[in-house]
Amino acid sequence: MTRYVVDANVAIKWVLPEIHAEAALRLQRPNYELLVPDFFFPEIGNVLWKRVQRGEDNLESAQNTLQALMGVPLSVHPSLGLMPQALEIAVRVQQAVYDCVYLSLAIEHNCQMVTADERLFNALRNDRLATSLCWVEDLPET
């Protein structure tokens, strides 16, 4: 079984029509184990809250979207033990700590983090951890 750490900006594309949604859906295969840190669902909730605030969605629809994502089989991992490494990475590559927690989770489980965050991807492109990161469009088609 292939493991991937999935960040919230990829997972939200499973349920909302966004750019890279088709590529993100490639992760919905039975032979993939998908890992997320424990703050994944609050982060998803924040994305949905912003959509409601901007008038792009309503609360009922946002709740349905949240329920759909809560039904996806995900392996949830505590972030506390990942924090020291995440902070080191964040300082070194000048990216947000919460993004680097996803990357630390991937390193801990010897797999790749899948992202659609272009800023993060570009910041790590020439870093020694670049091999721990996978651009969403680079996921295998089969």
pLDDT, tens only, 64-110: 999 999 999 999 999 999 999 999 999 999 999 999 999 999 999 99
Number of domains comprising the chain: 1
| Percentage of the chain lying above the pLDDT 70 cut | 99
Whether 15 contacts 54, CB under 8 Å? no
CATH number at residue 75: 3.40.50.1010
CA distance 76 to 85: 18
Residue 59's domain spans which residues? 2-138
Taking alpha carbons only, the member of 45, 43, 46 closest to residue 7 is 43
Whether 19 contacts 125, CB under 8 Å? no
Average pLDDT rounded to a whole number, residues 108-137: 94
Taking alpha carbons only, the member of 10, 12, 8 closest to residue 62 is 12
Residue 26 CB: number of other CB atoms within 10 A?
16
pLDDT given at position 1: 83
Res. 34: pLDDT tops 70: yes
Burial class (CB within 10 angstroms; exposed 0-12, middle 13-18, buried 19+) of 134: buried
Give me the amino acid identity at 116: A
CA distance 95 to 120: 7
Taking alpha carbons only, the member of 16, 7, 60, 17 closest to residue 52 is 60
